[in-house]
Amino acid sequence: MKLKIKSGDIVKVMAGDHKGEQGKVVEVFIDKNRAIVEGVNLISKHTKPSAQNPQGGIVKKEASIHISNLMLVENGETTKVKYRVEDGKKVRVSKKSDKVI
């Protein structure tokens, strides 16, 4: 399945506990249809002491969000994405402005 959101995109959360928050996509999990967005959906993870973290404790970490709850942001407003073939290449295009993303 082809996802319309890629790593590095600015997205807005459209549904759920973090509705209205924006952030940059850090990682996309294609097989699970989920993405990790920077600064959104933070969870508290309890960690044991280790070599990297000798103190241990509680660490704030981003959890993944389902792709259906995210929408691409272009020029400050959300937009849907469509595909078009230009010069033999398949490119992502904004449905609102009809410009290549």
pLDDT of the chain, 101 residues: tens digit per residue: 678 999 999 999 999 999 999 999 999 999 999 999 999 999 999 999 999 889 999 999 999 999 999 999 999 899 999 999 999 999 999 999 999 98
pLDDT score, position 1? 66
Token reading at 34: 């989920």
81 lies in some domain: no
34 lies in some domain: yes
Q: Say which CATH number the domain at 69 has.
A: 2.30.30.30
* Full residue range of the structural domain in which residue 49 is found: 10-75
Q: Give the total number of structural domains in the chain.
A: 1
